[in-house]
Amino acid sequence: MNVLSELIKWVAFPLAGLLVLGFLCLLMYRAYLRRSTRIEMPNGISSLEEVALGGLKQWIFIRGTDRHNPVLLFLHGGPGAPLMGMSSSRLHDAEVIEHFTVVHWDQRGAGKSFSSGIPADSMTFDRLVEDCNELIDYLRSRLHTQKVFLVAHSGGTIIGLKAAHRYPEKLHAYVGVAQIINDYEQQRISYEFALEAAEESGDVARLRAIKAIGPPPYGTPQESLAKERFVSHYGGFIHDSSIKQMVKMASLVTNFLTSPEYSFSEGIRTFRNMGFEFTMNAMWEQMQNVDLTREIQSIRVPIYFFEGKYDMTTPTVLVEEFYDHLDAEKGKTLIIFEASGHLPMIEEKEKYQESLIDVVLKESHNR
C-alpha cells in the first residue's frame, strides 16, 4: 500500500499537474491568437457563421480587411480534412486577406461540420458540389457580389472542378492546388514511386512493407494511407523534410486544439480525425472511381493549376496531361512550385500568395 501511495505521489500527481498546465497553455495561446490576428479595419470582417447547406448545418469562417474585396472561397482537401481550425485561416492567409475576403468552409462531415447523425449515404460528390453551389449563392448574397474566386486543395479539387464546370457563371476563376484527376492512376504512380525509392535506398524492411501493401486498387482507405506514409517518408508529400518543416507541419495539427474557431471538444474530435475517417469510409468507393478526364474536357471559366514539382500524393504529371488536353475558352495557366510537394500553400507560402494576388486576381481585372 505504501508503494502505491508513493507511486501516486511521485508519478500521478506530477502528471496531472503537467496536463493541467498544458491545458492552460493551450487556452492562453488560443487567447493570444485571437488577439494578435484581430481585424480592426473599419470595413474589415471576421465572422464565424453556421449556414444550412443541403439541409445540414455547416460552418464557415469569413475574414478580410475590406469586405468589399473580391470573395475567395477555399475548399479544403481530404475529403474530410478541414483547414478552418488550423492556422491557415488566421496565419497563412495574412497577405491574402488584404486583397480578398477569404471564406474557409468545413465541409459536410468535416471539422465543425461533423456530426455522428449525418447519414453516410448523403456523403456523395454530387451532394458536396451542390453544398458548394448553395454556399456560393449564400456568399453572393451575404457579401453583395456577383461572382467568387474558387480555390480548392487536393480532395477538395474534385468538388471544386466539378462546381466550376457546372456553374461557371458564378465564378471569376477556379484554382486547383494539388489537383486530383484520376484516383487510380495517382495511386498507381505514387505506389511505384515509393517502391522505387525504397529499392534505390536499399531499405529492405521498408521495401518489404511496401510490397506487402501492394499496388492499387485498395479495398479500404487505411491501405491507401499506409502506402502514403511511405510516399511521405521519401519526400512525395512534403518535399522539404527538414526539422523546421516537420515542426511546422506538427504545429498545424496541434492548431486544432488552440483554434479560436473550435471548441476544445471540437478540436480533440478533429485532432483524432473522426470526421476524416467518417468521410473517407463513406466516400471510398466513389473516390476510387474518380476520373475527371472522362467528365470534363472543356471549361468556361478561367482556370489555374498550382502544382508542387515533387508532389507524388497527387502526381503533377497527371495534371500536366489533363492541362494539355483541356479546352479552356477563357484561358488556362499552370504554375509549378519548384520547392514543393503536396502542400505548396505551406511549403512555398509566399509564392502561393503572390500567385493568387499578382496572377489570378490581376488577370481577372483585365478580363
The answer on 53 and 11 residing in a single domain is no
- List pLDDT tens digits, range 118-167: 999 999 999 999 999 999 999 999 999 999 999 999 999 999 999 999 99
Examine residue 138 and state whether it is found in any structural domain, yes or no: yes
Are 297 and 348 within one domain? Answer: yes
For residue 311, give the CATH number of its domain: 3.40.50.1820
| Total of domains in the chain | 2
- Asked whether residue 99 is assigned to any structural domain, the reply reads yes
Are residue 141 and residue 257 in the same domain, yes or no?
yes
162 and 265 co-located in one domain = yes
Looking at the structure, tell me whether residues 132 and 170 fall in a common domain. yes
- Candidates 306, 363, 326, 302; CA nearest to 173 is 302
pLDDT at 183: 96
- Segments in the chain below pLDDT 50: 243
Instruction: Report which of 131, 17, 18, 146 is spatially closest to residue 70, judged by C-alpha positions.
Output: 146
216 in any annotated domain: no
Decide if 206 is inside a domain: no
| Range(s) of the domain holding residue 136 | 45-184+240-365
pLDDT at 251: 58
Please report which helix (H) or strand (E) contains residue 106, including its range: strand 101-106
In a domain, 132, yes or no: yes
The pLDDT tens digits of the residues spanning 202-239 come to 989 999 999 999 999 999 999 999 999 999 999 999 88
pLDDT at 13: 61
Predicted confidence at residue 35, as pLDDT, reads 73
Same domain, 180 and 305: yes
Q: Are residues 73 and 173 in the same domain?
A: yes
Q: Are 59 and 50 in contact (CB under 8 A)?
A: yes
CB neighbours of 48 closer than 8 A, spacing ≥ 6?
59, 60, 61, 62, 261
pLDDT at 205: 94
